[in-house]
Amino acid sequence: AGKGDKAVRYQLEPKTVIFVHDGDKIAQADILAKTPKAAAKSKDITGGLPRVSELFEARKPKNAAVIAEIDGVVRFDKPLRSKER
């Protein structure tokens, strides 16, 4: 991180999988965490077709998120309730 860069805090949903550890060096566009989608309700082949069509569409996502605007080092604060970070 350069001079003037500020630390950013993000609240994560329960069951979010964190791919970085305290002290890891990160760069722009690194995937830091993923939140699992709800389990699919339909188990037959037609249940997944809307998602497949969505993957092939050439459009910007509705809720695009910027996870890291700057390069830096990951630091976790003290654990919150029930040892979640």
pLDDT over 60 at 84, yes or no: no
Alpha helices in 1-85 (DSSP H): 49-56
φ and ψ at residue 5, rounded to 5 degrees: -70, 140
Percent of the chain exceeding pLDDT 70 equals 73
pLDDT, tens digit (0-9, with 9 covering 90-100), for 32-50 = 888 887 644 455 666 667 7
Confirm if 31 and 19 have CB atoms less than 8 A apart.
Answer: yes
The reported pLDDT for the residue numbered 57 is: 74
Q: Is the pLDDT of residue 21 over 80?
A: yes
The tokens of 9 are what? Answer: 């805090």
Looking at residue 44, its pLDDT comes to 61
Instruction: Determine, yes or no, domain membership for 85.
Output: no
Q: Residue 65's domain spans which residues?
A: 1-76
The predicted model scores a pTM of: 0.41
What is the mean predicted confidence (pLDDT) over 66-77? 78
> What is the number of structural domains in the chain?
1
More confident residue, 58 or 29: 29
Q: Letter for the amino acid at 82?
A: S
83, part of any domain? no
